[in-house]
Amino acid sequence: MTAQFQKPKELRAQKPVRVIFTGGFLGAGKTTALGAIARRLLKQGLTVGLVTNDQAANLVDTAIVNELGVPVAEVAGGCFCCRFSDLVDATDQILAKNPDVLLGEPVGSCTDLAATVVNPLKLFYGDIFRIAPFSVLVDPIRVRELVLKETPTRFPEEVAYIFRKQIEEADIVVLNKIDTLSPQEADRMVEALKGLQPNKPILKVSALRDEGIENWLQMLMSDAPAGSHILRDINYETYAKGEAVLGWLNATVRLVGSPEFDAGKFAETLMSELQASINAQNAEVAHLKFLISSGTKMLRGHLTKADAEPNFVGELGEIGEGTLVLNARVALSPEALSSIATQAVLKAAKTVNAEAEILSLQSFSPSYPKPPYRVSEPV
Ligand SMILES: Nc1nc2c(ncn2[C@@H]2O[C@H](COP(=O)(O)OP(=O)(O)OP(=O)(O)O)[C@@H](O)[C@H]2O)c(=O)[nH]1
Ligand SMILES: [Mg+2]
């Protein structure tokens, strides 16, 4: 098999490195979960490095994981699968720091990762990497919406297709956010997921509360099969359509008070303005997240369904200046999303009497996925 693929480059490591990739749909809790895993590994005295990934630069996730104080490299401008060489370069940067464990978070709108990332890594770098089973995190909101179909969805079928394919290719399915469920509800969801995928482990965790992580981590540190559920019949047309309906927006904004402004009020207003405009267009949110930082402090806002309650993490109070990083993945055209985001930022700034200077704003739909490597047999 090796003959048909050319290795992107040689990688060297001073010792075997455990590689843990955690996938799952946008907003499922991948960054939170990798943070929980990293903290546990650090407590065990192991060294950790991390690779984040997005279709564009300026990532809320990179800022979040930077708080862990471990080496972080970012693959921006495309997913791991389509930018495999960039993933290898990022990995190389982290390997220079001699980690015991390398953690990676692929883009949440991607699937076919067993064939295009996990197995190529095993094929080319199986001598230095010990690849962990590929976990796919699942949000209970999406189980209700896309598996049990008990709540309405505004997503088109192609997005539901990506969600199903992600679960299909998982070595381990991880139902996250169980702190939001009664034990009976959690068991009912596990049964529903088992109905879709009867032959694989389905775990229950709360990444936020650090519950169920120990057991999961044991599986990730074991030599259980990785990338063993390669998608046999993935339809790239449908997958590409599912990705393309999601408008993607990454923006950076400088906020200046006169002389100070209430950052908490700014965050609440920004979220409610964004949510109201998105709902007015009957659009669905995959994940809308922003982070306001000032000095060493930060405040984050997250929304993972258009009509759900937003979630805020951290506190800032009155600040003189701050930087806002906004990442939105919403089923809207990039133009509509850009206009909604700009207006919401300006309105929120006006409400707290601050000035907002948009430093960068990118808005687009992900392009057709064209992974350079597709290893269709388990390695
Ligand atoms: N209640 C609860 N919320 C969680 C849990 N894990 C993550 N969240 C919240 O879910 C939202 C999304 O979490 P992230 O970790 O950013 O999700 P992600 O999968 O990395 O998102 P993308 O990178 O955008 O695909 C945030 O508001 C988190 O605080 C959990 O176990 N319980
Ligand atoms: Mg993330």
The encoded tokens of residue 254 equal 């400088």
Q: At what angle do helices 236-244 and 157-168 cross, to 10 degrees?
A: 120
**Total domains in the fold of the chain:** 2
Ligand 1 nearest atom to the CA of residue 27, by list position: 21
From the list 307, 291, 259, the residue with the least C-alpha distance to 144 is 307
Give yes or no for residue 83 CB within 6 A of ligand 1: no
Model confidence at 165: pLDDT above 80: yes
- Could you tell me if residue 230 is inside a domain? no
**Tokens encoding 300:** 């984050």
Element (H, E) at 167: helix 157-168
> Is the preceding peptide bond at 133 cis, omega within 30 degrees of 0?
no
pLDDT digits (tens, 9 = 90+) for 292-328: 999 999 999 999 999 999 999 999 999 999 999 999 9
**Helix, strand, coil percentages, rounded to 5, for the chain:** 35, 25, 35
| Residue 108 in contact with ligand 1 by CB distance below 6 A | yes
Please check whether residue 47 lies inside any domain of the structure: yes
| pLDDT higher than threshold 70 for residue 2 | no
Domain of 343, CATH number, reads 3.30.70
Residue 328: inside a domain: yes
Task: Report in angstroms the alpha-carbon separations of 319 from 78, 259, 277, 314, 347.
Answer: 34, 8, 27, 14, 18
Question: Residue 125's domain spans which residues?
Answer: 16-223+235-242
**35 C-beta closer than 6 A to ligand 1:** no
Domain of 146, CATH number, reads 3.40.50.300
Same domain for 290 and 215, yes or no, is no
* Nearest CA, atom 30, ligand 1: 177
Same domain membership, residue 323 and residue 208: no
**What CA–CA distance (Å, rounded) separates 295 from 313?**
16
CA of 20 to the centre of ligand 2 (A): 15
- Global pTM reads 0.96
Residue 11, in any domain of the structure: no
Pair (33, 134) in one structural domain: yes
Write down the pLDDT at residue 323.
97
Q: How many CB atoms lie within 10 A of CB 127?
A: 9
What's the gap in Å between 176 CA and the centre of ligand 1? 9
> What's the order of all strands across the beta sheet hosting 318-330?
311-314, 297-303, 285-294, 318-330, 247-262, 355-364
- Give the mean pLDDT of the chain: 95
Closest residue CA from atom 26 of ligand 1: 302
In a domain, 7, yes or no: no
- 248-302 pLDDT, tens per residue? 999 999 999 999 999 999 999 999 999 999 999 999 999 999 999 999 999 999 9
Q: Are residues 97 and 60 in the same domain?
A: yes
Closest by alpha carbon to 306, among 263, 264, 340, 351? Answer: 340
With a cut of 80, say whether residue 142 has pLDDT above it.
Answer: yes
Ligand 2 geometric centre to CA of 5 (Å): 30
Using CB atoms within 10 A of its CB, is residue 258 exposed (0-12), middle (13-18) or buried (19+)? exposed
Q: Is the CB of 177 under 6 A from ligand 1?
A: yes
Q: In this structure, what token pair is assigned to residue 40?
A: 């546990």
pLDDT band of residue 155 (cuts 50, 70, 90) is very high
User: What is the reported pLDDT for 287?
Assistant: 98
Ligand 1 atom closest to Cα of residue 287? 24
Q: Whose CA is nearest to atom 10 of ligand 1?
A: 29
Same domain, 89 and 194: yes
**Quick one: which of 86, 9, 18 has its CA closest to 226?**
18
Which residue among 32, 34, 55, 329 has the greatest number of ligand 1 atoms within 8 angstroms of its CB, and so is best to mutate?
A: 32
> Residues 241, 366: contact at Cβ < 8 Å?
no
**Are 54 and 183 in a shared domain?**
yes
Residue type, 230: I
Rounded to 5°, angle at Cα 343 from 315 and 284: 80
142 lines ligand 1 (CB under 6 A): no
Amino acid letter, 186: A
Hunting for tokens 């997958």 — which residue is that?
239
Using an 8 Å Cβ cutoff, are 255 and 122 in contact? no
